[in-house]
Structure 1
Amino acid sequence: MADHYETLGVSREASIDEIKKAYRQLARELHPDVNPSEDASERFKSVTHAYDVLSDPNERQRYDMGGDQGGAGGFGDIFETFFGGGFGGGQRGPRARAERGDDAMIRVDVELSEVIFGVQREIAVNTAVLCGTCSGSCCQPGTSPATCDVCGGVGQVQRQVRSLFGNVVTMHPCGSCSGYGTVIPHPCVECGGKGRVRERRTMNIDIPSGIDTGTRLQMRGGGEVGPAGGPNGDLFIEFRVMHHDVFSRDGNDLLATAQVSMTDAILGAENTVAALDGDVQLEVPAGVQSGDVITIRGRGIQALRSTTRGDLKVAVQVVTPTKLAGREKDLVRQLAALRKEEPPTLGEFQQGLFGKIRDRFFRQG
């Protein structure tokens, strides 16, 4: 059976990043979708199994100590299937008390204005942390684990089973020490012998620009510390972008509506308006119609893992005055007389303003 390290082409001292890099390169070459040959399929299975073992700290430690010889399914495995233990009295040694901690996930609400460039935020997490009294040893200070009297520290006990093949010796986890090989005579009072306690802690996180509701950020090692001071799991942060009363988004574009007076719509105008990241100049062209969209380039949201920004798109809503003074009415009548407008005629039914705005937003996108 080939060594897992040889299968991946890495040294026994390889880091987890080197193991991942080697696996990804081999997987791209041997994946059945890319290389349909039977030899490649078998190698892909071997490479995947090797990666599954070496990428898990506990499995890798067990493998380095002589466990997990590839799962080839030899004669001893048949007896293990029937009798629940190793064949011929083989010993795998005690199990490690320290184990990897669980992953944790929290949800964080983010304002739309914070999404434009990203922001640093302090968050609170209720999770398991290393016990400050015993530092993960699980023992009361001044004491230490004791060798199990039942298994003698090996973490397993032998059982003799009579079968069709004769007497078979099998190995089972020691019930006295749960397979650890040691017991804790004086458990830490603070953590109850677990090596960890629950605590509400705060941490600073960098919220990247361009995230949307449902985006998840993975912080390796930010999750719960494992039993007996084992390595931390990961922390997953899921974001929810809050509703804004004025601005909405379409991908990395920001969308808004501007009410324009009748005179500005006729003559055109330039005004300063407040955007999410400061003031912008809104240039209203002469003759603008309700439903027209004015695009301000580069004033949208900065894309995730990029310096490119979307646009700010402003839909125009021309506001017709409902009350006019006598002089104003006279001037409008004079304008109407000068323009000699044609009377309205019936035509195909047109959708409302918001439907027109929606269609124009997406047409421009």
Structure 2
Amino acid sequence: METKDLYRILGVSRGASQEEIRRAYRRLARKYHPDANPDDPSAEERFKEIQHAYEVLSDPERRRRYDQGPSAFFGGERVSGNGSGFGGFSNISDIFDTFGDVFGRGGRGQRPSSRGQDVTVSVNLGFREALSGVTTRVSAPVEEECSTCGGSGAAPGTFPRTCPECGGRGTSTQDQGFFAFSSTCRRCGGSGTVIDRPCPTCHGDGRVRNARQVTVRIPAGAKDGMKIRIPGRGSAGRNGGPRGDLYVVTRVAEHPVFERRGDDFVVELPVSFTEAALGARVDVPRPEGGTVRLKIPAGTQDGKQFRVRGAGAPHPRGGGRGDLIVRVRVVVPAKLTRREREILEAFADVHDDNVREDLFRRVGEAR
């Protein structure tokens, strides 16, 4: 038996209209939802009471039985011809179904709450934006509760009614000898209710699609394809269920010079023949702007790599930065002046090393 006044739980009078009951439920559900009170265990119990009270009082038939009191369940006429004597019910299972309906334990005509769907959107970022971080707005196509019908799917002034085919269970059962097979009710699609006059706005779905503008903070160092979760910004839940989450996927433009590898960047640095041979100090561009000074040792070969610590991308979750990897590319002059040619010929006369000697030695040693 009910030990608490369902009207008092919602804070409405016994003569309250369905619209007053709906408004009271939505206000209290937002206030006591567990997601809004993570540190208050009592909020969950209070939320369950509010949800149960709304499930009973929002259904005209269930509300009528509740207002009649216990005699509505065990009084009345007996069903003739079966000798069951269950106070107007054909069998004991009907009694328990009715109790489940009133007390919110999965009975007839009940529309269970469900979590809203997650929504995924992408955001395009420039190379520098992703490197430094940016706050931007994205348009999320979410499903919201229809404001015309309050999510019921029924036209204003009407309400969904218990499905006459399945009795509100949402399933139909077929007896096959010793076995019984259950399937989703074809009439109501498993919801347990049918809508005679669909809402003109949502056409009976109780939901409408809306483009919600959401502000999202992209952390510094964001990579291409990184997924950022924003809790509770997805589609609204059904029948008081919590909202889904919003996932924002970053799409970062490539840079014409810097190649990203994790949190590191790779850059190819052109150096002249003389710089590689004699050694030099050269400026190397940094991904976020500016330069860093790098020492090129004498005799540096083409393809030699140097690592500049901490000059890469910031770790998106904090804790330092990646490195800048500098790969040397020795540039050989395409044309020489007469004076340059004379100098190089003189250099060749005094520096007659056989640079291919080691190549032929290893070829000859191979079996």
Task: Report what 1:121 is aligned to.
Answer: 136
Q: Could you say if the C-alpha distance between residues 292 and 349 of structure 1 is closer, same or farther in structure 2, counting changes exceeding 3 Å?
A: farther
Is the aligned partner of 1:276 residue 2:287? Answer: yes
- For residues 174-215 of structure 1, give each alpha carbon's deviation from its aligned partner in whole angstroms, at most 9, with x where no partner exists: 887667676545432111122211233332222334444554
Task: Report what 2:351 is aligned to.
Answer: 340
How many angstroms apart in 1 are the aligned matches of 2:338 and 2:359?
36
Is the aligned partner of 1:314 residue 2:326? Answer: yes
How many angstroms apart in 2 are the aligned matches of 1:349 and 1:203?
66
How many angstroms apart in 2 are the aligned matches of 1:265 and 1:127?
59
Which of residues 304, 326, 337 is equivalent to 2:316? 304
Task: Report what 2:342 is aligned to.
Answer: 330
How many angstroms apart in 2 are the aligned matches of 1:333 and 1:132?
88
Q: Is the 8 A contact 2:221 2:314 kept in 1?
A: yes
Q: Is the 8 A contact 1:137 1:195 kept in 2?
A: yes
Is the aligned partner of 1:237 residue 2:242? Answer: no
Write the mapping of 1:44-123 to structure 2, written as runs, cut at 5 A: 88-89=93-94, 90-91=96-97, 92=100, 93=107, 94-96=109-111, 98-123=113-138
How many angstroms apart in 2 are the aligned matches of 1:174 and 1:331?
94
How many angstroms apart in 2 are the aligned matches of 1:251 and 1:149?
57
TM superposition shift of 1:310: 0.7
Q: Is the 8 A contact 1:177 1:183 kept in 2?
A: yes
Which of residues 159, 168, 175 is equivalent to 1:145? 159
Partner of 1:332, secondary structure, is helix
Q: Could you say if the C-alpha distance between residues 349 and 216 of structure 1 is closer, same or farther in structure 2, counting changes exceeding 3 Å?
A: farther
Q: Is the 8 A contact 1:131 1:191 kept in 2?
A: yes
- For residues 43-97 of structure 1, give each alpha carbon's deviation from its aligned partner in whole angstroms, at most 9, with x where no partner exists: xxxxxxxxxxx9xx99xx79xx9xxxxxxxxxxxxxxxxxxxx973322333226
User: What amino acid is aligned across from residue 236 of structure 2 in structure 1?
Assistant: V
Q: Is the 8 A contact 2:265 2:323 kept in 1?
A: yes
TM superposition shift of 1:102: 2.1
Q: Is the 8 A contact 2:154 2:160 kept in 1?
A: no
User: What amino acid is aligned across from residue 275 of structure 1 in structure 2?
Assistant: R
Unmatched runs of 5 consecutive residues or more in structure 1: 1-12, 23-53, 66-85, 351-365
Q: Could you say if the C-alpha distance between residues 113 and 180 of structure 1 is closer, same or farther in structure 2, counting changes exceeding 3 Å?
A: same
TM superposition shift of 1:145: 1.8
Task: Report what 1:130 is aligned to.
Answer: 145
User: What amino acid is aligned across from residue 293 of structure 1 in structure 2?
Assistant: Q
Task: Report what 2:260 is aligned to.
Answer: 249
- For residues 270-292 of structure 1, give each alpha carbon's deviation from its aligned partner in whole angstroms, at most 9, with x where no partner exists: 44443320111232424122112
Task: Report what 1:216 is aligned to.
Answer: 227
Q: Is the 8 A contact 2:311 2:321 kept in 1?
A: yes
How many angstroms apart in 2 are the aligned matches of 1:109 and 1:347?
52
Identity of aligned residues (%): 31
How many angstroms apart in 1 are the aligned matches of 2:292 and 2:233?
44
TM superposition shift of 1:147: 5.2
Q: Is the 8 A contact 2:234 2:243 kept in 1?
A: yes
User: TM-score with structure 1 length normalisation?
Assistant: 0.59
Which one is further off, 179-188 or 220-229? 179-188
How many angstroms apart in 2 are the aligned matches of 1:201 and 1:273?
44
Is the aligned partner of 1:201 residue 2:212? Answer: yes
Partner of 1:263, secondary structure, is helix
Q: Could you say if the C-alpha distance between residues 210 and 163 of structure 1 is closer, same or farther in structure 2, counting changes exceeding 3 Å?
A: same
Partner of 2:340, secondary structure, is helix
How many angstroms apart in 2 are the aligned matches of 1:176 and 1:345?
86
Which of residues 192, 200, 208 is equivalent to 1:189? 200
Unmatched runs of 5 consecutive residues or more in structure 2: 1-31, 56-90, 101-106, 362-367
Q: Is the 8 A contact 1:148 1:177 kept in 2?
A: no
How many angstroms apart in 2 are the aligned matches of 1:173 and 1:295?
64
User: TM-score with structure 2 length normalisation?
Assistant: 0.58
Partner of 2:358, secondary structure, is coil
Q: State the aligned residue count.
A: 275
Q: Could you say if the C-alpha distance between residues 293 and 163 of structure 1 is closer, same or farther in structure 2, counting changes exceeding 3 Å?
A: closer
User: What amino acid is aligned across from residue 264 of structure 1 in structure 2?
Assistant: E
User: What amino acid is aligned across from residue 202 of structure 2 in structure 1?
Assistant: C
TM superposition shift of 1:140: 3.8
Q: Is the 8 A contact 1:268 1:286 kept in 2?
A: yes
Kindly name which structure, 1 or 2, has the bigger radius of gyration based on alpha carbons.
2
RMSD across aligned positions (CA)? 4.6
Q: Is the 8 A contact 2:282 2:296 kept in 1?
A: no
How many angstroms apart in 2 are the aligned matches of 1:284 and 1:336?
27
User: What amino acid is aligned across from residue 138 of structure 2 in structure 1?
Assistant: I
Q: Is the 8 A contact 1:122 1:204 kept in 2?
A: yes
TM superposition shift of 1:257: 0.3
TM superposition shift of 1:263: 2.4
